[in-house]
Amino acid sequence: MADKVTIATVAAHANVSRQTVSNVLNTPHLVREETRERVREAIAVLGYRANQAARLMRTGRSHLLAVRIEPTRDGINGSVLDRFLHGLTEAAAPAGYRILLYAAADDQAEIATYDDLLATYELDGFVLTSTHHGDVRTSWLAERGVPFVTFGRPWGRLGADARTEPAALSGAAGSHPWVDVDNAAGTAAATRHLLDAGHRRIGFIGWPEGSGVGDERRAGWAATAGADLPELARATVDGVAEGEAAAHDLLSISDPPTALVCASDSLAAGAYGVAPPGVAVTGFDDTAVARVLGLTSVAQPLAEAAARCVDLLAGVLDGGAAPHPVLLPPSLVIRQSA
Amino acid sequence: MADKVTIATVAAHANVSRQTVSNVLNTPHLVREETRERVREAIAVLGYRANQAARLMRTGRSHLLAVRIEPTRDGINGSVLDRFLHGLTEAAAPAGYRILLYAAADDQAEIATYDDLLATYELDGFVLTSTHHGDVRTSWLAERGVPFVTFGRPWGRLGADARTEPAALSGAAGSHPWVDVDNAAGTAAATRHLLDAGHRRIGFIGWPEGSGVGDERRAGWAATAGADLPELARATVDGVAEGEAAAHDLLSISDPPTALVCASDSLAAGAYGVAPPGVAVTGFDDTAVARVLGLTSVAQPLAEAAARCVDLLAGVLDGGAAPHPVLLPPSLVIRQSA
DNA sequence: TTGTACGCGTTATCAT
DNA sequence: ATGATAACGCGTACAA
């Protein structure tokens, strides 16, 4: 095991002061070309890498970003977080950041964790997922000036539509940097696909009102599907059994729908299981379950979303500029279910 | 935002020196009871938390553990890693450790990442997953004396059976701490369940020889299933389509099997799709896909495995004792497919 | 380009 | 046995 190579080792090797080595790394233009090269060679030869702890003590920058890892609920949508985490990790590395994981049972526990992580590890920033109406986490972080990005737009007060709220979309005061996938566009694309296939009565199975994401997904369907909307929509908590029940219910009305747009692959899996042949079903998230069942599903560009989260956070941290929010388009993966 | 609370703040508040505060935290028996209480109260009142960076510089201990996040292959088994990561994060926190993520394309890149993480963040240890025969990562770490645990036993040279290798099981010299799930016991349980249900010809669909885990799973089936084994087994790379093909093949032989034990839920999903009614199928990993399809599947105790990984690593780090390997029993989750 | 102080907690040494 | 003082680790900010 080679001895520890510090900035002093490099300085000695290159016959300069420690400070000059630091300058070569951080403000190279201040160092004469010839010296710079000599130092760089010493760095390469010795395999020197700056110690983050020492750097942190001076600069207050840990180059660490934290993200919460949630427990996999029914596991169907769990892989979404998994892919997002992988994208985050891959995008962070070239930008000079690492990803730290934390778990928290609820928002309050999560805030306590922020406090702890900031105090002990001086985290540079947070990536929040699963944002919701009246999220206390964002206000806590904002109040303290802690940099963060959310994957999921700020939902503000209950019932407000972000697309009609200039403040949220522009990232103006009171808001914060965010990256989101256009959920409404996703269900709209699925609905359009069904219309193109000749379906005229298209139902929707989603979640109870109040979850921003769920409301968006329903809105995309509603804006595209046509008339008679309320009677063609059912709301339920997420789950396969719940999807079965809702589909059963919807298909039992007079003049039933011939196609069902679902807010998740869990619901779609249930619906697809009870739907008679000819009734089309679409899901959301393009999970492994959708692939195996042959469910047409809306795919979120998770790697891209993660990369943009890192971009935004790095922008705040390095540039200081308030970055523009990012709204990414989903895509429809067509399989045999629709 | 409250001012930063350092050890000096606490010392001033409690009317002692900084050193005494440090002693209260690290060697409390050296401090008089009354003083100790006063300091502890100051710590609580001020909400003091030691700065890890400063501590690290002195002690060389970052309290950071790293684990690789792999890209989700077909997504079906991806949730396994997800659950493991969550377990790791939850188990690490109370032990005073945090989990750092990294991505790497292959073993060589992973080793380069070790080098970087050790040099820049002074990681305390690594948790390795997906160990395989002749793993260069473990030897690299072992040579440098870097603490690590593997989820998956050391496979040693190709073809060696860890259960017959005392060195591997005992954690003796040349080995390293590991946690594993008894894969053979898992497929054995599935096979026994099928025997109990009256099946007499039980086939197996697994992976090509050489992957330690795959060989274990086959061995569990072979030891339990009975006669005519070679003709009842098929090997293929993992995947739903591959499972379909292998099942189709196995069910086409003369005197075909009436039940199929599969090495993964992906293979089982494929097999279940083409198997005629009455042919039982079991999978491995109890993924969401198994739940949705109603596949009987072997479940790994991932949270437990993760917790034991942390235990072992913490043991090495804090105690210095060479810990015993851990072999956990899987459980069979019975659904309608078998 | 260089010298020097600094950040913060711990270890070593010294005084009571 | 307690507590205080000083030095240390490593990279950077600032002044020289």
More confident residue, B177 or A1: B177
Q: What amino acid is encoded at B196 in this protein?
A: D
User: Which of A89, A103, A119 is the closest to B49 by Cβ?
Assistant: A119
* Count of other CB atoms within 10 angstroms of residue A234: 21
- Contacts with A51 from chain B: Cβ below 8 Å: 119-120, 122
Tell me if A64-180+301-329 shares its fold with A183-299.
yes
**Of chain A residues 251-280, which have a CB less than 8 A from chain B?**
269
Rounded mean pLDDT of B271-296? 95
Rounded mean pLDDT of A212-228? 92
The predicted structure's pLDDT at residue A79: 77
Q: What is the DSSP string of B228-241?
A: -HHHHEEE--SSHH
The predicted structure's pLDDT at residue B26: 87
Nucleotide nearest to A57 (CA to C1'): C7
SS3 at position A49: coil
- Contacts with B89 from chain A: Cβ below 8 Å: 69, 101-103
- The Å distance, CA of A60 to C1' of D9, is 17
SS3 at position B150: strand
Q: Which CATH superfamily is domain A64-180+301-329 in?
A: Response regulator (3.40.50.2300)
Alpha carbon of residue B169 to chain centroid: 17
User: Which of A83, A120, A143 is the closest to B52 by Cβ?
Assistant: A120
Rounded mean pLDDT of A225-243? 91
- Contacts with B78 from chain A: Cβ below 8 Å: 79, 82-83, 288
End-to-end Cα distance, chain A = 60
CA nearest to nucleotide D3 C1': residue = B20
Q: Per-residue pLDDT tens for B86-96?
A: 999 999 999 99
The predicted structure's pLDDT at residue A14: 92
Rounded mean pLDDT of B105-123? 94
Contact B288, B330 (CB under 8 A): no
Q: Among residues B56, B63, B119, which one has the least CA distance to residue A7?
A: B119
Assess whether pLDDT exceeds 60 at residue B25.
yes
Assess whether pLDDT exceeds 80 at residue A159.
no
CATH code linked to domain B183-299: 3.40.50.2300
What distances in angstroms separate CA B63 from CA A68, A208, B96, B97, one per listed residue?
18, 42, 7, 5
CA A90 – CA A97 distance, rounded (Å): 10
Q: Per-residue pLDDT tens for B235-283?
A: 999 999 999 999 999 999 999 999 999 999 999 999 999 999 999 999 9
Q: Is there contact between A67 and strand C, defined as CB under 7 Å from any strand atom?
A: no
Nearest CA in chain A to B290: A289
Q: Where are the alpha helices (DSSP H) in A165-276?
A: 166-170, 183-196, 212-225, 229-232, 240-250, 265-274
As a whole number, the mean pLDDT across chain A is: 90
Nucleotide nearest to B17 (CA to C1'): D4
As a whole number, the mean pLDDT across chain B is: 90
User: Which of A54, A74, A100 is the closest to B98 by Cβ?
Assistant: A100
- The Å distance, CA of B185 to C1' of C10, is 49
- Residues of B (253-282) placing their beta carbon closer than 7 angstroms to any atom of strand D are none
Q: Is there contact between A157 and strand C, defined as CB under 7 Å from any strand atom?
A: no
* Count of other CB atoms within 10 angstroms of residue A1: 8
The predicted structure's pLDDT at residue A134: 86
Contact B42, B10 (CB under 8 A): yes
- Residue A254 has, within 13 A of its CA and on its CB side, a CA count of 0
Rounded mean pLDDT of A74-102? 90
Q: Per-residue pLDDT tens for A272-293?
A: 999 999 999 999 999 999 999 9
Q: Is there contact between A35 and strand C, defined as CB under 7 Å from any strand atom?
A: yes
Rounded mean pLDDT of B314-333? 90
The predicted structure's pLDDT at residue B75: 66
- The Å distance, CA of B51 to C1' of C13, is 25
Residue A2: band (very low, low, confident or very high) from pLDDT cuts 50, 70, 90 = low
CA A289 – CA B289 distance, rounded (Å): 5
- Counting other chains too, the contacts that B102-106 makes at CB distance below 8 Å and 24 or more residues apart are B102/A89, B102/A93, B102/A98, B102/B66, B102/B67, B102/B68, B102/B69, B103/A86, B103/A89, B103/A90, B103/A93, B103/B68, B103/B69, B103/B70, B103/B71, B104/B68
**Dihedral, A308, A314, A316, A320 alpha carbons, nearest 10:** -130
The predicted structure's pLDDT at residue B159: 45
Q: Is B334 exposed, middle or buried (0-12, 13-18, 19+ CB in 10 A)?
A: middle
CA B332 – CA B261 distance, rounded (Å): 12
Query: What is the share, in percent, of chain A residues with pLDDT greater than 70?
Result: 93
The predicted structure's pLDDT at residue A75: 66
Q: Among residues B56, B48, B123, which one has the least CA distance to residue B92?
A: B123
The predicted structure's pLDDT at residue B319: 77
Q: What amino acid is encoded at B162 in this protein?
A: A
Q: Per-residue pLDDT tens for A52-76?
A: 999 999 999 999 999 999 887 766 7
Q: Where are the alpha helices (DSSP H) in A257-314?
A: 265-274, 288-293, 302-314
- The Å distance, CA of A27 to C1' of D15, is 17
Q: Per-residue pLDDT tens for A130-156?
A: 898 889 999 999 999 999 999 999 887
Assess whether pLDDT exceeds 60 at residue B127.
yes
Q: Is there contact between B20 and strand D, defined as CB under 7 Å from any strand atom?
A: yes
Assess whether pLDDT exceeds 80 at residue B168.
no
The predicted structure's pLDDT at residue A174: 54
Residue B1: band (very low, low, confident or very high) from pLDDT cuts 50, 70, 90 = very low
| Structural tokens at position B137 | 């990562």
Residue A168: band (very low, low, confident or very high) from pLDDT cuts 50, 70, 90 = very low
> Lowest mean pLDDT: which of A323-332, B3-12, B126-135, B202-211?
B3-12
- The Å distance, CA of A16 to C1' of D10, is 17
Domain spans of chain B? 7-59, 64-180+301-329, 183-299
Chain A interface test: which of B5, B10, B55, B101 (most A C-beta within 10 Å):
B101
